[in-house]
Amino acid sequence: MKFEDLYQADFKLLDDAVSDWGQLVTNLTDLQKQARDGLHNKAVKADWHGVNAGVSKEFIGKTAGEFDDATKEATSIHNILKDTAGELRTYHQQLHQALDDGRKKNLTVISSGDGGFIVTMAVHPDRAAQGTTVPEHSVTDEDALRDQVQGILNNAAKSDSTASEVLMALVDESQYGFSGVVYKDRDQAEKAVQEADELAKLAKKDPAKLTAKDFDAINKGLKQYHDDPLFSEEFAERLGPAGTEKFWLGLTDNREGGHLAYERGYKYAELQKNLSLTLATASQSDSAGMTAWKQQVIDTGARAVGTHGNVLGFQVMSNLMRDGDFDDQFMTDYGRGLMKTERFYTDDGKNVAWQASICPQLNYEGSDGGWDPLNGYLKGLSNNPAAATNFFNEDFIPQDAHHKSAVSNFDYLFKQRQWPMDSNDIHGVHSTVGQNFLAQALEAATTGHPAGEMPTIDTPAHTPAEADLFKDIVSATADKPELLTDRGYMSDSFGQIASEYLPDINRANSDVPHTDLLYPIDGSAAHLESGDVNKFLFAVGQNPEGYAAVEVGQKAYMSNLLQYHLDPNLSADHRFTGDHKLLVQTVAERSGEVSGMLGQGRMEAIGSTAKGKDDAFDHAVAQYQNLISGGIGTAVGVGTSFIGSPVAGGIVGGAAGTATGSALQWLFQDVQGDAADDAHDNEAKVWQSGLDRNSAYTMHATDLAVKRYHLSPDLVSYASHSAHQGYYNAQAILNGQDPGSTADISG
């Protein structure tokens, strides 16, 4: 900061900028509200199908989100400008006051012409007016004034430069969008950047010289700031890809960080998570620095890293991608590089690779050692639906002169891959973690939301790529059910996937005309074969968690369908039939078939002495209530129309959602009561219990709809009979027989 610039400072332009940004924040806040309450909410409730549901609705949701981010970034810029203007004005006043005080001792400050200043006498005693007393001063007074002025200039320079740095960093965060973070003032933003620099310096230390105090500082800082874009980008860029790999590898290798493992090993999992979350936030930036960072990670992934050269970059970095939402394009590009390396080390999948090594242990989050880089990467994909969808639909082995047919990443990983031994278990127990992460990544890839979460009204309708992938899952499981039944730990994810494709599943099992009206679908439909669907449901039903997800989802979906189709206000172009009896029979029978197929799988499970009794199934259904406690309808339901996609039906459906919630509460209470009794220990009891519960629920759900719309109570008994028939149909279908029917629907 030049002396003359601060002394002669005119704050009008800066004040105008503060005022303009303040007005911009006000305007954006208003637009944000309009985008959220008007544009977004109307899009959610609109009855759109096809491209509009799958593309336009999602685009509108993202656009509304951009208004939110724009408001946040503008607020940060306004706060920083306002804070900086206030500080500079204070330093301007302090400088003038210092000069005024200096004159009292006959001292003044003048510009040196090069940006600096000179402390000199204000009036030479020999030139003072006659009779005027000139104040005296000492050399100490001169030095004190010089130091005071320099201190003011230093503070002003820091305020100005740091404001410039953080403002530029904010703008550079997102080349095409906005940074979704709010800083209350310049100091807060500056502190985030300074903290990142200091922690990066610590992380760059020789691992052998890193102390427990250093470790604690890094872990604490990452935990506090991992969601802060400025901090995360600064930390990642300062440390660099190579520094990141060296840091983590040095900690986990006892030959380098053994002393820390002894002192802080119990906190390694926490640090790993915090580091992963930090890198995920940083990856969302498309600044030049982070673009180079991401490319370098991929370019060096297949190379040996670390001191001892026995670990590849992909093996280290994949373990630092397990938590957080990484940038979509980065995850996609990283996956391509990783699978290219997988092909090389497995000879196109013929051999097993990535076997566990004695040293180092690369992962501390879970039971796998982290030597298989696909474990961490697949876990990362489970948090990133868009990248997961892209990844599974890409070729692992492309069709070319050497290969007769292409093999997708899904085909290879689900059906063919030889999974390596990758376990921390000292007895060498085979680790199933990677295959479980595969299931979670498939859940994200097919549903459009992170694995382990329930869909919401903002979850986009299924895309063609998502629907095609679900079709592949159903087909692969039908061809070889043991791919799922022998890996029951995957069934919770597969059950959740199926619960979000119930319109598609019900369509496949219906031979009536106009299934598009009977089972409306927002977005793209999965075109499934009936035989494949039933084999898939039979396999999913053999696992308690998979059974619970589909059983609860189907029953809620049936209730939503009845509420929707029996509504007298439903427009003619959406109406399947005006015959209420025919409608109730059709919906109840098809729903009964789904539940019956799950029941057959449940019987198969308890028929095996290795799997024991049946109590786990009712317990899983009862526990599923906890997953949807935030809103009963979020297990099933809608996007744009409340039965169009299995997303948020109870929320969007209004009264229909309330009715569905009431029906499900009845189901949960019934299951909980049954679970408290003796467990069913034979197939006959399981069959009869499932048959009775399915009929009773169907009657209850139909009764709610009938009373709501003041319809004939006879519909309840029709529904009960058809539910029985549908449940019996499942048994006939599995035995290769033609199912019965309670409704004769002509085309």
Q: Mean pLDDT in runs of 10 for the chain (747 residues)?
A: 80 80 74 61 52 52 60 74 82 88 85 81 66 73 88 85 74 56 65 91 94 96 93 94 94 87 93 98 89 95 85 96 96 97 91 79 90 96 97 88 80 94 59 92 96 82 93 97 94 94 92 89 90 96 93 88 89 90 95 94 75 72 70 38 43 51 79 56 77 93 93 96 93 80 54
Report if residue 640 sits inside a domain: no
7/116 same-domain check:
yes
Residue type, 542: Q
Long-range contacts of 338-341 (CB under 8 A, 24+ apart): 338/301, 338/314, 338/373, 338/374, 338/377, 339/394, 339/396, 339/409, 340/302, 341/301, 341/302, 341/312, 341/314, 341/373
482/605 same-domain check:
yes
Cβ 85 vs Cβ 100: under 8 Å: no
Report if residue 124 sits inside a domain: yes
* Residue keyed to tokens 């991992």: 226
Tokens of 39: 């544009």
Report if residue 637 sits inside a domain: no
Report if residue 11 sits inside a domain: yes
* Residue keyed to tokens 């991401």: 294
CA quadruple 219, 225, 227, 230: dihedral sign: negative
User: pTM for the complete prediction?
Assistant: 0.80
3-state secondary structure of 316: helix
538/416 same-domain check:
no
3-state secondary structure of 738: coil
Cβ 590 vs Cβ 509: under 8 Å: yes
Q: Can you give the pLDDT at residue 584? A: 96
Query: DSSP alpha helices (H): ranges in 457-579?
Result: 464-479, 482-485, 491-499, 502-508, 515-518, 530-540, 544-565
604/553 same-domain check:
yes
What domain range is 605 assigned to? 461-626+660-734
* Residue keyed to tokens 């759900």: 701
Ramachandran sector of residue 348 (left: φ over 0; alpha: ψ -120 to 50; beta: rest): left
CB neighbours of residue 399 within 10 Å: 11
Rg (CA), the chain: 33
Q: Cα torsion for 468, 474, 480, 486, to the nearest 10°?
A: 120
3-state secondary structure of 311: strand
165/25 same-domain check:
yes
Q: What's the number of domains the chain is made of?
A: 4
34/156 same-domain check:
yes
Distance CA 619, CA 732 (A): 28
Q: Can you give the pLDDT at residue 681? A: 58
530/679 same-domain check:
yes
How crowded is the C-beta side of 218, counted as CA atoms within 13 Å? 30
Distance CA 509, CA 566 (A): 21
Report if residue 634 sits inside a domain: no
3-state secondary structure of 403: strand
550/521 same-domain check:
yes
489/520 same-domain check:
yes
For residue 679, report the phi and psi dihedrals to the nearest 5 degrees. Answer: -65, 145
Q: Cα torsion for 368, 374, 380, 381, to the nearest 10°?
A: -140
Ramachandran sector of residue 612 (left: φ over 0; alpha: ψ -120 to 50; beta: rest): left
Closest CA to 516 of 632, 605, 644, 618: 644
Report if residue 187 sits inside a domain: no
Last residue of a domain, one of 299, 328, 362: 299
Q: Cα torsion for 446, 451, 455, 460, to the nearest 10°?
A: -40
Report if residue 186 sits inside a domain: no
216/130 same-domain check:
no
333/291 same-domain check:
no
445/511 same-domain check:
no
Q: Residues of 46-58 as b/e, b for ≥16 C-beta within 10 angstroms? A: eebbeebbbebbb
Last residue of a domain, one of 401, 419, 452: 452
Report if residue 363 sits inside a domain: yes
Residue type, 431: S
Running DSSP on this structure, what letter comes out for residue 117?
E
